[in-house]
């Protein structure tokens, strides 16, 4: 199970968090809000499917390219996130 | 621009994945470059997030393989190349596209 | 009486007693976070908490390592302890909340980015 596995690999999780912290402020805000949303919606493969680590890679590349966060995600962040987890089962879907 | 081609999102929905596969088939490339290629082609509404979502799906379905390579600016970039399944999928896409576009052209010509 | 005793009462197991002893060694902030995670975990698990033991162990371990590395609670868990705990427990709210969460996500992003832009 996603987050649980990541927490059990505590070193990885802390490395992940340290990278999030190094993002520019606008990216960090959006990352934090997305993570908060995903924790609630609960895709089963949040980590195994690489959703959070992949998102972080994507944001780091965008920031390095000098782009603003909403230019890469689009203004509708929720739609972007739902696109990311489309096809992966969520706890919310199971209800 | 005389033509109203500024909102193609809905129409592109089913075809963007094929476009991305085609771009990758030309040379191994990375997400942000793929978006730029599509924008330069005239699909100005396509954003990085959309391309990223497509790449994620292609990766999950094992149509592409991903290699991380160092970049001069910032973090390593993920480069994408087609797998055999990806090449097959792309060929199917073009067959379907030719079929759909020829039928629609015919409809417009009025002799369908 | 500690929080855990209040919750688990006479069912308090050796595992949970050991957790409590470890928690006592944490800095105050981390200990508060641990208790909050506990509250939320219990709302997801069975009352005896048996199935939650490995999860709680992992969460406590995370806080211990964070404090050893001088990392604050916010840095390892963020500001959404409820959401973090729900994800740990492998559960989430009902699907019909999803639209509300979706709106909340976009609203929060817009508000926080506006504040950032000044």
Query: Could you give the angle at the alpha carbon of B96 between the alpha carbons of B38 and B92, nearest 5°?
Result: 85
Phi and psi, residue C112, nearest 5°: -70, -35
Best-predicted range by mean pLDDT among A79-93, B69-83, B87-101? B87-101
Tell me the per-residue pLDDT of C9-61, one tens digit each, with 9 for 90 and over.
Answer: 545 577 778 888 999 999 999 999 999 888 887 776 554 555 677 778 878 88
Do the two chains C and B touch, given a threshold of 8 Å on CB pairs and at least 3 pairs?
no
C-alpha distance across the termini of chain A, in Å: 17
Q: Which residues of A touch C (CB under 8 A)?
A: 1-4, 7-8, 10, 13-14, 17, 21, 25-26, 29-30, 32-42, 46, 69-70, 75-78, 81-82, 90-95
Residue B2 in any domain: the answer is no
Residue B1 in any domain: the answer is no
pLDDT at C22: 93
Mean pLDDT (chain C) is: 76
Domain of residue B52: give its range: 11-106
Q: How confident is the model at residue B18 (pLDDT cuts 50, 70, 90)?
A: very high
Q: B29, B44, B49: best mutation site toward chain A, by most A Cβ within 10 Å?
A: B49
Q: How confident is the model at residue C112 (pLDDT cuts 50, 70, 90)?
A: very high
pLDDT at C51: 66
Q: C65, C80, C105: best mutation site toward chain A, by most A Cβ within 10 Å?
A: C105
Residue B48 in any domain: the answer is yes
Residue B111 in any domain: the answer is no
- Residue A35 touches chain B, beta carbons under 8 Å: no
Tell me the per-residue pLDDT of C48-97, one tens digit each, with 9 for 90 and over.
Answer: 555 677 778 878 888 888 888 788 888 778 777 887 777 777 654 444 56
Residues C90/C46, Cβ–Cβ less than 8 Å: no
Residue C24 in any domain: the answer is yes
The CATH number assigned to the domain holding C22 equals 1.10.1900.10
By DSSP bridging, strand B64-69 and strand B29-30 are unpaired
Residue C77 in any domain: the answer is yes
Please state the domain count of chain C: 1
Residue C111 in any domain: the answer is no
The CATH T-level fold of domain A2-94 is: c-terminal domain of poly(a) binding protein (1.10.1900)
Give dist(CA B33, CA B40) in Å, integer: 10
pLDDT at C57: 82
Domain boundaries, chain A: 2-94
Domain of residue C18: give its range: 3-93
Residue B6 in any domain: the answer is no
To the nearest whole angstrom, how far is the Cα of B87 from the nearest Cα of chain A?
A: 22
pLDDT at A28: 95
For residue A45, pLDDT over 60 is answered with no
Residue C44 in any domain: the answer is yes
ipTM of the prediction greater than 0.90, yes or no: no
3-state SS track over chain A: CHHHHHHHCHHHHHHHHHHHHCCCHHHHHHHHHHHHHHHHHCECCCCCCCHHHHHHHHHHHHHHCCCCHHHHHCCCHHHHHHHHHCCCCEHHHHC
Nearest to A95 among C61, C79, C94 (CB): C94
Chain C residue numbers with beta carbons less than 8 Å from the beta carbon of A40 are 83, 86-87, 92-93, 97, 101
Residue C103 in any domain: the answer is no
The CATH number assigned to the domain holding B56 equals 1.10.10.10
pLDDT at C78: 75
Tell me the per-residue pLDDT of B28-83, one tens digit each, with 9 for 90 and over.
Answer: 999 999 999 999 999 988 999 999 999 988 998 999 999 999 888 778 889 999 99
Q: How confident is the model at residue A1 (pLDDT cuts 50, 70, 90)?
A: very low
Residue C51 in any domain: the answer is yes
Please compute Rg for chain A using Cα positions. 13
Cβ contact A74–B49 (<8 Å): yes
Residue C66 in any domain: the answer is yes
């Amino acid at each position: 199970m996603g987050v649980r596995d990541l927490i059990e690999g505590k070193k990885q999780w802390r490395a992940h968090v340290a990278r999030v912290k190094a993002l520019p402020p606008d990216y960090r805000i959006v990352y934090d809000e997305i993570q908060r949303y995903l924790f609630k919606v609960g895709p089963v493969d949040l980590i195994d499917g690489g959703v959070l680590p992949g998102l972080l890679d994507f944001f780091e590349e965008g920031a390095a390219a000098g782009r603003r966060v909403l230019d890469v995600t689009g203004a509708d962040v929720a739609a972007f996130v739902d696109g990311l987890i489309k096809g992966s089962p969520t706890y919310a879907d199971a209800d | 621009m005389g033509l109203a081609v500024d909102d193609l999102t809905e129409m592109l929905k089913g075809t963007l994945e094929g476009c991305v596969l085609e771009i990758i088939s030309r040379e191994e490339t990375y997400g942000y470059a793929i978006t730029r290629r599509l924008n330069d082609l005239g699909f100005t509404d396509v954003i990085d997030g959309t391309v990223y979502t497509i790449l994620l799906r292609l990766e999950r379905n094992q149509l592409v393989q991903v290699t991380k390579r160092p970049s001069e600016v910032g973090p390593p970039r993920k480069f994408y190349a087609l797998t055999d399944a990806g090449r097959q999928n792309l060929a199917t896409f073009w067959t379907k596209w030719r079929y759909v576009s020829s039928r629609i052209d015919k409809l417009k010509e009025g002799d369908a | 009486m500690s929080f855990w005793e209040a919750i688990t009462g006479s069912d308090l197991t050796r595992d949970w007693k050991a957790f409590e002893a470890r928690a006592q060694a944490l800095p105050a902030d981390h200990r508060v976070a641990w208790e909050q995670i506990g509250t939320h975990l219990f709302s997801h698990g069975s009352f005896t908490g048996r199935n939650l033991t490995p999860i709680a162990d992992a969460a406590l371990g995370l806080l211990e390592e964070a404090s050893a590395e001088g990392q604050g609670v916010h840095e390892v868990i963020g500001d959404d302890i409820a959401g973090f705990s729900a994800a740990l427990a492998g559960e989430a709210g009902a699907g019909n909340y999803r639209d509300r969460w979706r709106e909340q996500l976009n609203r929060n992003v817009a508000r926080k980015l506006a504040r950032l832009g000044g």
